[in-house]
Structure 1
Amino acid sequence: MHGGGLFVKHDNKQVIKNVALGLFGQKGYEDTSLAEIAKEVGIKKPSIYNHFRSKEDLFAEVIEDLIVSEVKAYRMTEEKMNQMEPLKNIRILFDLFCQRLMTTKEALLWKRVTFFPPEPFKDLIQEQFIHFEEVTTSILVSVYRAGADQGLFQCISEDEFVASFLCLVDGVFLEHHYYTEEIFQQRIESAWKVYALAISSRKGE
């Protein structure tokens, strides 16, 4: 009986975080109240304090979980890559970024905290973002080295390669705000076509 209670308590904590993730993404940190979160979960507001000391504590955990989720997605994708197809691997990473950008509620919160980070959490968000970028950079460098060793990529530095890819996805990140889904997909394909041509050596064509 006691063990069942612990399970319910743990489960409620995750439900609270899932609901908070959605509301923080839709309304922002400042405009989301614990009362709203509790109502959405179907519990009383004081019950939230069984799991979190404050709204600040809840938001911090949500942000940390967000980064863990993103890192996991990229690591799982990395494990499935074929090192003999480096350009295809870059496209896989590009598609993963676009897919998560367009289809997850995590993406909504990611966008909001990127453009409008709540003042008390600027350092935490920057710290988590740097961690995520370090992970994605290590994957990109690994892919680039495989392609460079096979003579498939232009002779540029690893830093230049990483910077070019991040600029590409940053552009996609911004454009998703402004275009219909059909136009956005067309622009994704156009951007990728030019990018792939730019980084490929003649041997890789």
Structure 2
Amino acid sequence: MTKNKIKEVACKQLAEKGYERATLASIATEVGIKTPSIYAFYKGKEDLFMAVYNDLLDDQFQFIKLSMANLENATVKQLLYQMIKDVSDYHLSKPEKTAAYMRLAFFLPHELNDDIKRTFNEKEEFYYEILLGIFTRGIEQGVIKRQPVDDLIASFLCLMDGIFLELYYYEEEKFKKRFEQTWNIYWNGICKE
């Protein structure tokens, strides 16, 4: 219970203050424990925030996985659209978690730089495996232009990254409009007419 509460408060403070200003002392105070008690669960600040980062990624991936599992009979276009829409919906519906994630993604703390990049690349394999199946099926069905699947996956992941960045800059209504515009151009570029 205390371990999870520490992570929750760390995530909240990360979203509000950023990594540098979210101190173990301020987290302990908000949890209602003494600072040394945190060390019973985490080696230090870096360890705690890597646990928060892992939770943020896992939470997002579980959200996507659950949604994709409900789309057994969907077309390739529907699957790709739903995946990118789910990522957007997830972030729109969880502003605190998104703010915390953005703080780590865009304002990468020097001491966590390598660990965050390595963890992100490991977790991205989740998307790679799903997209490999979708794009392979799309090419086999003649729905998607024949081209290297790795190129298609890379382009889709870049599209997801770009759309995620749009969340940072635009209000929800404008973001949703730009999302649809971008998706339509993307799909028209890869589909076989």
On the 8 A contact 1:34/1:45 being kept in 2, the answer is yes
Q: Does 1:71 align with 2:58?
A: no
Partner of residue 188, structure 2: 197
1:183 is aligned, of 174, 180, 184, to 174
> d(CA) in 2 for partners of 1:83 and 1:146?
13
> Which sections of structure 2, spanning at least 5 residues, go unmatched?
none
Correspondence list, 1:150-161, <5 A:
150-161=141-152
Partner of residue 88, structure 1: 78
> d(CA) in 2 for partners of 1:79 and 1:195?
24
Correspondence list, 1:24-43, <5 A:
24-43=14-33
> Structure 1: which amino acid aligns with 2:145?
Q
Correspondence list, 1:2-81, <5 A:
11-81=1-71
How far did 1:75 drift?
2.7
Q: Percent identity?
A: 34
Partner of residue 145, structure 1: 136
> d(CA) in 2 for partners of 1:153 and 1:29?
43
Q: Does 1:117 align with 2:116?
A: no
| TM-score (norm: length of structure 1) | 0.85
CA RMSD between the two structures: 1.8
Q: Rg: which structure is higher?
A: 1
- 1:163-202 Cα distance to aligned partner (Å, 9 max, x none): 2212212221222222222111111111111112222212
Count of residue correspondences: 192
How far did 1:84 drift?
5.0
> Structure 2: which amino acid aligns with 1:87?
K
> d(CA) in 2 for partners of 1:113 and 1:126?
10
> d(CA) in 2 for partners of 1:178 and 1:66?
21
- Distance of aligned partners of 1:101 and 1:84 in 2 relative to their CA distance in 1, 3 Å threshold: closer
Partner of residue 6, structure 1: none
